[in-house]
Amino acid sequence: MNRKVSVAPMMDCTDKHERYFLRLISKNVLLYTEMIVSEAIDRGDKNKLLSFSLNEKPVALQLGGSSPKLLANAARIGEEFGYDEINLNLGCPSKKVEKNKFGACLIKEPNLVAECLNAMHSKTKLPVTVKTRIGYNDVEDYKSLFNFINLLKSTGVKTFIIHARKAVLGKFTPKQNLNIPPLKYEMVYNLKKDFKDLEIMINGGIGSTNEIKEHLNKVDGVMIGRSIYHSPYILADIEKEIFNNKNVLSREEIIENLVPYVKDEIKKGTRMNQIMRHTLGLFHGQTGSSFWKRYLSENMCVRDADVKKIDHIMDKVKLAPQAHTATQID
């Protein structure tokens, strides 16, 4: 599987509607689900939690949990649903996640993590991968990170996605954990030097094709998150410059191709705002971006949005560039 560039799993962001939208822009990036808790898969509505369109592929399922049995079961079910990879979240630093004993707090329990990974491997033939951080709280030395990766490698994991910040548990909010701990890219680069047989992907604070190219000189892949959600058309540049694919849809063509999906989902009971909220940043940096965001916010990103307005969305797309002068770029 090509993991040269991937879009990070983001809670309340990378749901199936977002992934369908992003796949219209990029045919090559690897997409990830939001983190789905293994216990929820065990007890909940599996179709609601795991169903997705084949048009989204390749797509990886990210799991959260610390029960080897439940994680193994979730991995098996994920394979049955058609996912291309199973990823274990060892990086989420939220208090709620820590309270339920999954995410970044598991870095403190490497033997339990290894047990979980062994159990997952026993139930699926899919690649089982890990997303983690360089450390936690006061533990952010390279030796500890090396030992952690080396132990997990022994379970058969061959792909590691490393967020180049430590997690500050119990003190910082998830948002603060994305900004305050300093980025230490060199630690991730050193992992690749020391584990040449592993696939090492880097994550954290990366937002441009030039930055991606620089990192790809040192590691195997790059995972990007917030920059894609706020400005999704960056993926068009990635397609052209990283994957050498010049056959990329325009912003207008993307919306035109999204409309049939929206109409089909509305028939299934999906609210229009659940889909269209993901497109707010499509015209970011373009003349008329403010017009687009305002129109969506007032008409399509409200809970009781009039579904008939989707029939006129292309008129609004065409109006957007004319809605402001060239100096009024958002």
Residue 92 a catalytic site member = yes
Residue identified by tokens 């990036």 is 29
Q: Which string of DSSP letters, residue by residue, matches 222-243?
A: EEE-HHHHHSTTHHHHHHHHTS
Query: Are 83 and 59 a contacting pair, CB within 8 Å?
Result: yes
Active-site hit among 92, 105, 116, 301: 92
- Cα dihedral sign, 57-58-64-69: positive
* Cα 21 off chain centre by: 13
Residue 139 burial class via C-beta count within 10 angstroms: exposed 0-12, middle 13-18, buried 19 and up: middle
DSSP assignment letter at 319 = H
Residue identified by tokens 């990830």 is 32
CA dihedral 157, 161, 165, 169 (to 10 degrees): -60
Q: Supply the residues annotated as catalytic.
A: 92
